[in-house]
Amino acid sequence: MRPAENINNLIKKLQLKASTDLDRRVHDDISMALAESDKTKSARAEPNIRRTIMKSPIVKLAAAAVIIVLVVLGLFEFIGTKNTSGVVWADVVRKLQASRGLIVRCRDLSPSSGDDYSIAYTSPTYCRKDFYKDGQIIRTSYVDLTGSDIFTLLDVFHMRKHSLTTTYKKSDYGLFLELDEDWTNPSFLVEKILSCEHSKLGQKTIEGVLCEGIETTDPASMGPTPEQIDLLDVLLRLWVNVETGYPVLFESKTSAKYDGEVWEYENVMDQFQWDVELDPGIFEPNIPSDYERLTWPEVKEL
Amino acid sequence: MLEDKLLILKFNRGNREALRSIYEKYKDDLVTLSAALLTDVSSAEDVVHDVFVSFIESSRKFRLTGSLKGYLAACVANNARNRNKAGRRHGSIALDETGPAAVDSNSPEFHAIFGEELHRLSWALSQLPYEQREVLLLHSYSGMKFRAIAQQQNVSINTVQGRYRYATDKLRSMLDGEVEK
């Protein structure tokens, strides 16, 4: 007989799969409970305009674009952006707004990350993200932003062979990327840095490209935070190609003390391809026929 | 752990996807734990459902002080224990709190829970007194520390360690030779 560790190892082999019936029950409960919560919230709170602006990724600027430009220009006037080093940051904002499509590699460097990296394809009206693990796509997310006040998120989980469609109301939740993908959207992050107190890093060469950088350590860049965060250290750093004015590298590190424990989060985005004309076909959801399709309740009226 | 903290932060802020992500991340482990405790898949899924209903209701006030997995495992164990006691009161499940589980552990349905490969183990687990089984599964399967289990069961850490020791000894004797395969 081997020692107790072998019993532990054997016990760890126990593995059941939750049934699709349980999936439906729990997801329905989540949708219903949060819809109730939304009603209560909307009854007592006026929209927070500043927060809405902070949420807005440039890919979905539309109505918010004018306001953001005004905010950014206002900041530039205050801090003074006239420089002789090559990058005019207001131009960066404008170029990102005008970019037809973007392809970027995103890496979550946290130990608990479930994927090795993801590739995001973003157009002004659609977003798709492929998550890779060990060279295979384990999940694909599609976002349809064409609705006037709704957007749809479709997640296809390839390992579990099911898809999940969720519809959101923009006026309720702000725009998509603040919710879950905010730290992997470069356009959004440029806004974040520029709208907070930031400093210039000068120039350096990254993979043969002369770049100029800025960074912020202003916790306000994280937006409103829950009360229970005791300490919050933030570093958002952006390097832009001096010649083209497009970002080439973005790094973010967050460290927070929360209920007596410190947690850290780190992301890197690189391999940017800006102003790409993306084939609309890549945004067409591709769900294999043998996948279970789950849909969660439509947008609830507020 | 870090991912869990982030999920909880988002969860506190009412983020739907955080809730769904928490469920998706842990559902299989929780169903497995529950089924091993109750030796019944249907009841096991009811337990996990109940736990998530309570978890959803706690949305904005929930504060994570340890591991999220451990917290959810403890919730499942509490709910399963209550269900076990209720079943005993109503006579539908004759599980004794201190005696071995009186389920029909030879039935094909029971063996089918974890498949043929592990049927000896699931049978042996079902022969353990419920509280020993709970300690063993929470520690060995869910990774909870003895101290956390003691708090969850409102008993001393010595009692928990004793239950664990008895449970592993009994399993060893029942599975003699099996665990070496």
* pLDDT score at B161: 92
Q: Which CATH number fits domain B2-180: 1.10.1740.10, 3.50.30.30, 3.30.420.40, 3.30.530.20?
A: 1.10.1740.10
Looking at the domain assignment, is residue A272 inside a domain?
yes
Higher pLDDT, B123 or B166: B166
Q: What angle do CA A32, A37, A42 make, to 5 degrees?
A: 125
Neighboring chain B residues of A177 at a CB cutoff of 8 Å: none
Q: Which of A182-186, A190-194, A214-218, B85-89 has the lowest mean pLDDT?
A: A182-186
Range of the domain at A159: 21-295
What pLDDT is stored for residue B137 in this prediction?
Answer: 92
Structural domain count of chain A: 1
Tell me, what DSSP letter sits at residue A115?
S
Q: What pLDDT is recorded for position B85?
A: 76
Q: What is the pLDDT of residue B88?
A: 58
Residue, of B105 and A160, whose pLDDT is higher? A160
**Which residues on B lie below 8 Å from A182 (Cβ)?**
none
* Residue A59 pLDDT greater than 80, yes or no: no
| Chain A hits for B27, Cβ within 8 Å | 18, 22-23, 26
- Mean pLDDT of chain A, nearest integer: 71
Residue B31 near residue B44 (C-beta atoms within 8 A): yes
Residue A176 has pLDDT above 60, yes or no: no
In a domain, A25, yes or no: yes
Q: Which amino acid is at A131?
A: F
Q: Work out the average pLDDT over B119-126.
A: 81
- Side chain identity, residue B74: A
- pLDDT top residue among B125 and B116: B125
Lowest mean pLDDT among A146-150, A154-158, A226-230, B14-18: A226-230
pLDDT at A177 over 70: no
**pLDDT top residue among B102 and B89:** B89
Complex-level ipTM beyond the 0.95 threshold: no
Phi/psi for A259 (5° steps) reads: 50, 45
Give a yes or no: residue A11 inside a domain. Answer: no
Per-residue pLDDT tens digits for A219-229? 877 766 655 66
Q: How far apart are CA A160 and CA A295, in angstroms?
A: 16
Express each pLDDT in B42-88 by its tens digit. 888 999 999 888 887 776 566 666 678 888 898 899 889 888 777 65
pLDDT of residue B95: 33
Return the pLDDT at A259. Answer: 60
> Which positions 59-88 of B are in contact with A (Cβ < 8 Å)?
59-60, 63-65
pLDDT, one tens digit per residue, over A103-150 is 989 888 876 667 889 898 888 788 898 989 888 998 898 888 777 667
User: What average pLDDT does chain B have?
Assistant: 75
Residue A301 domain-assigned (yes or no): no
Confidence of residue B94 (pLDDT cuts 50, 70, 90): very low
Query: The CATH number of the domain where A197 resides is what?
Result: 2.50.20.10
In a domain? residue A4: no
Distance, in Å, from the CA atom of A36 to the CA atom of A300, rounded to the nearest integer, reads 9
Interval A251-273 mean pLDDT: 78
Interface of A with B in 261-290 (CB under 8 A): 261, 263-265
**A217 domain residue, yes or no:** yes
Q: Lowest-pLDDT range, A49-58, A199-208, A209-218, B120-129?
A: A49-58
Start-to-end CA span in chain B (Å): 33
Q: Cβ neighbours of residue A226 under 8 Å, at least 6 residues apart?
A: B9, B12, B13
**C-alpha span between B157 and B161 (Å, rounded):** 6
pLDDT at residue B30 greater than cutoff 90 = yes
Instruction: Please give the pLDDT value at position B33.
Output: 92
Q: Which residue has the tokens 């798709």?
A: A128
Q: Which two tokens stand for residue A299?
A: 């947008």
pLDDT of res. A224:
61
**Residue at A31 is within a domain:** yes
> Residue A11: which of B6, B60, B141 has the nearest Cβ?
B141
Predicted pLDDT of residue B25: 85
Kindly give, in sequence order, each residue whose CB lies less than 8 Å from that of residue A250, ignoring residues fewer than 6 positions away. A186, A189, A236, A237, A238, A239, A267, A268, A269, A270
Q: Which residue type sits at B43?
A: S
Question: Of the given ranges (A41-55, A123-137, A138-152, B143-157), which has the lowest mean pLDDT?
Answer: A41-55
| Phi (first) and psi of residue A57, to 5 degrees | -75, 150
Percent of chain A's residues with pLDDT above 90:
11
pLDDT for the residue B152? 81
Residue A55 clears pLDDT 90, i.e. is over it: no
Q: Residue A15's pLDDT is what?
A: 83
Residue carrying structure tokens 């850290």:
A264
Q: Give the start-end residues of each E strand in chain B.
A: none
Residue type for A27, please?
H
pLDDT, residue A19, reads 87
A226 closest CB neighbour out of B12, B30, B121: B12
Residues 86-145 of B with CB under 8 A from A: 113-114, 117-118, 121-122, 136-137, 140-141
CB A107 within 8 A of CB A267: yes
